[in-house]
Amino acid sequence: MADVKKIATRESYGNALAELGDKYENLYVLDADLAAATKTGIFKKKFPDRFFDCGIAEGNMMGVAAGLAATGKIPFASTFAMFASGRAFEQVRNSIGYPHLNVKIGATHAGISVGEDGATHQCNEDIALMRTIPGMTIINPADDIEAKAAVEAAILHDGPVYMRFGRLAAPVFNDPATYKFELGKGIQLREGSDITIIATGLMVAEAIEAAKTLSADGIDAAVVNIHTIKPIDEEIIVNAAKKTGLILTVEEHSVIGGLGSAVADVLAQNYPAKLIKIGVNDEFGHSGPAVDLLKEFGLCAENIVSVASKAVRSK
């Protein structure tokens, strides 16, 4: 995939905000002293009167965002995923979730791929935390095209939205001419009859590559992209279970409470099928180059192929 264009979804986030600022005059952006890293500085440069740096006070920033939303504005509160979901959880829950205010949270630098920043910043729990807040919509886009579309979808959605973006450059595989983002709808990227790989975020591109390798080995793998983890597309998951009877979820997040858990809930209630989860196990990350860490934690096409092959053979 060396010749494939790669863009970090945090870049997509910043660019989308700046592009959409003209179209939506009630769009405001808040940041917690990380505008260069979250890429909201792009919006700040273009719309300085609609940008507020709240300093290293993430909880307060969520309160400010709630206040703006209460006056009819559409605020995007931006910071690292660790701080948005961890440090500010109480304010997100009580000031945004409980009154169901129209606040959008742009959480960048999620997952193991934060790399050298280490375990304290590698947030692998954010999806699990946000899933517990009633009425919270969770979006985890896979590439630049999807991330930009997700930002506008969040604007058009009435209610709180948590958007997860990455630091590491991600392969761009969607076609901007044909791509259509539908909130709550998964995307069937590849049909298959032996196993269904359901992936989200950075892992979608890895799942696509894994499916190609599996096909060469005689295994017919379907690939589904779940960009909206809550509300999740139950129909596409149930149909996959009925067709292949074997589901493999892949996520750059803890295997506890994330995509795999959400898919397990759907299967248990609608159509029980064998489920295997690839993600960060019950452990913390550590500092290191992002690409190396992804391989170490099994978040790569090679490991997906290995796990999928073994699962199909033991079917």
Question: What is the C-alpha R_g of the chain?
Answer: 19
Question: In this structure, are residues 59 and 93 in contact, taking their beta carbons and an 8 Å threshold?
Answer: no
In three-state secondary structure terms, 99 is coil
Q: Which two tokens stand for residue 80?
A: 């690292």
Is 58 marked active-site?
A: yes
CB atoms within 10 A of CB 311: 18
Catalytic one among 58, 125, 251, 252?
A: 58
What is d(CA 248, CA 117) in angstroms, rounded to the nearest whole number? 29
Burial class of 226 by CB neighbour count within 10 A (0 to 12, 13 to 18, 19+): buried
Instruction: Spell 77-86 as b/e; 16+ CB within 10 A means b.
Output: bbbbbbbbbb
Q: Which two tokens stand for residue 309?
A: 């092959």
The CA distances from residue 55 to 60, 61, 78, 305, in Å, are: 9, 8, 11, 44
Question: In this structure, are residues 202 and 208 in contact, taking their beta carbons and an 8 Å threshold?
Answer: no
Residues annotated as catalytic are 58
